[in-house]
């Protein structure tokens, strides 16, 4: 798979590797460096580049994406909560704690390992490490995601996500109470310069748009529906922090909560057009029990 990026004014002067870290947020600095050293990165059609190359406005950067080496993917008998399945796709309700695909830090026990055990055919567009994976959820985010069984379905679903015709709705419990009942967050998001494992709102990076609506208010928190317009890494979590109300139990962007293993963020609703039948399909997944239990302990805010 090839990705192409144009260097805009706010990226001019950046090192090539830093520029690509912002654009390819799923990849580590070492993986980016490896891509450059293997001549898989071209600038204005030229390869043989150095990671420290200073980019100029208007340059075109082309990257041939290849999966990280030395990671194999094997089938593992991990239970799956399959909400829907047909010849082209399946919808999974992912539990909290399950990583979607193998990476350098998690080489087994992922959703992909489970899919390889339970599903005969998966699309190959994203390579052997991400078969069938059209979009992802963070490890500690639960809820719905769609998996493609063939390349036709994969291309259609990926295009729908790109064109914002695939709708993804989330429920999150936020620390404190938002002043607004509903609104829209529109920022740029990029890797945090101080901690490359985190994302941050910045004056540069990739555009991120999230709509939100408060559904229920408690004394010390509020239940909020988020609807993604873009799909950046950690987008809702970063935007919640940007609003000064991090997701409850978000260890990275907020605070740990005793008794909770991760952020109270759940992808509860997913809508898309079926690639073969052209019918609109909508799926919903109820909040996990630990999420409900935590809310039951909260006192309803007085209006």
Assess whether pLDDT exceeds 70 at residue 61: yes
Confidence of residue 205 (pLDDT cuts 50, 70, 90): confident
Residue 294 is predicted with a pLDDT of: 96
Q: In the chain, at which residue ranges do the beta strands (DSSP E only) sit?
A: 2-6, 41-43, 60-64, 82-85, 89-94, 142-148, 167-175, 182-191, 199-202, 206-217, 221-228, 265-273, 280-284
Q: Which stretch, 59-68, 126-135, 287-296, has highest mean pLDDT?
A: 287-296
Catalytic residue among 17, 88, 138, 140: 138
For 123-180, how does the pLDDT look when each residue is reduced to its tens digit (9 = 90+)?
887 777 788 899 999 999 999 999 999 999 999 999 999 888 999 999 999 999 999 9
Residue 295 is predicted with a pLDDT of: 96
Residue 26 is predicted with a pLDDT of: 63
Average pLDDT, the chain: 90
Average pLDDT over residues 252-275: 97
Delineate the domains of the chain, giving CATH numbers in brackets. Answer: 2-64 (3.10.290.10), 68-163 (3.30.2350.10), 169-266+292-296 (3.30.2350.10)
81 included as an active-site residue: no
Residues 6 or more apart whose CB falls under 8 angstroms from that of 105 comprise: none
Report the sign of the C-alpha dihedral through residues 69, 73, 79, 85, in that order.
positive
The DSSP secondary structure of 48-71, one letter per residue, reads: S--TTPBP-TT-EEEEE--PPSS-
DSSP-based three-state secondary structure for 265: strand
Share of the chain above pLDDT 70, in %: 94
The DSSP secondary structure of 129-140, one letter per residue, reads: TSTTBSS---TT
Average pLDDT over residues 207-230: 96
Higher local confidence (pLDDT), 299 or 88: 88
> Which range (91-100, 122-131, 188-197, 207-216) has the least confidence?
122-131
Average pLDDT over residues 68-81: 77
Choose among 87, 118, 1: nearest CA to 275: 87
For 13-44, how does the pLDDT look when each residue is reduced to its tens digit (9 = 90+)?
999 998 998 888 667 677 788 889 889 999 99
Which residues on neighbouring strands pair with residue 91, listed in sequence order? 84, 146
Residue 130 has phi, psi (to 5 degrees) of: -135, 45
Assess whether pLDDT exceeds 60 at residue 271: yes
3-state secondary structure 2-43: EEEEECCHHHCCCEHHHHHHHHCCCCCHHHHHHHHHCCCEEE
Distance CA 185, CA 210 (A): 5
Residues 6 or more apart whose CB falls under 8 angstroms from that of 195 comprise: none
Higher local confidence (pLDDT), 54 or 195: 54
Residue 66 is predicted with a pLDDT of: 61
Residue 68 is predicted with a pLDDT of: 47
| DSSP classification of residue 218 | B
């Amino acid at each position: 798979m090839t990705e192409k990026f144009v260097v805009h004014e706010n990226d001019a002067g950046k090192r090539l590797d830093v520029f690509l870290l912002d654009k390819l947020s799923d990849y580590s600095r070492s993986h980016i460096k490896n891509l450059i050293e293997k001549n898989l990165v071209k600038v204005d059609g030229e390869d043989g580049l150095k990671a420290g190359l200073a980019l100029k406005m208007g340059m075109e950067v082309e990257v041939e994406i290849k999966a990280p080496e030395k990671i194999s993917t094997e089938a593992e008998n991990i239970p799956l909560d399959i909400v829907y399945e047909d010849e082209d796709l399946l919808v999974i309700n992912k539990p909290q704690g399950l990583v979607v695909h193998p990476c350098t830090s998690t080489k087994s026990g992922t959703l992909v390992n489970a899919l390889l055990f339970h599903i005969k055919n998966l699309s190959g567009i994203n390579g052997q490490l991400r078969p069938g994976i059209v979009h992802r959820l963070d490890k500690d985010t639960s809820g719905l995601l769609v998996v493609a069984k063939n390349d036709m379905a994969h291309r259609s679903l990926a295009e729908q996500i790109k064109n914002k015709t695939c709708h993804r709705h989330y429920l999150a419990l936020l620390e404190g109470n938002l002043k607004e009942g509903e609104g829209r967050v529109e920022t740029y998001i990029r890797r945090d310069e101080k901690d490359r494992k985190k994302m941050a709102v910045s004056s540069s990076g990739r555009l991120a748009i999230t709509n939100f609506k408060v559904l229920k208010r408690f004394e010390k928190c509020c239940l909020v529906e988020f609807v993604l317009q873009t799909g950046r890494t950690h987008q809702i979590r970063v935007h919640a922090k940007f609003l000064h109300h991090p997701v409850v139990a978000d260890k990275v962007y907020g605070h740990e909560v005793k008794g909770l293993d991760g952020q109270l963020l759940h992808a509860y609703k997913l809508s898309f057009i079926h690639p073969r039948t052209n019918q609109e399909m909508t799926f919903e997944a109820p909040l996990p029990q630990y999420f409900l239990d935590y809310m039951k302990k909260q006192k309803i805010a007085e209006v």
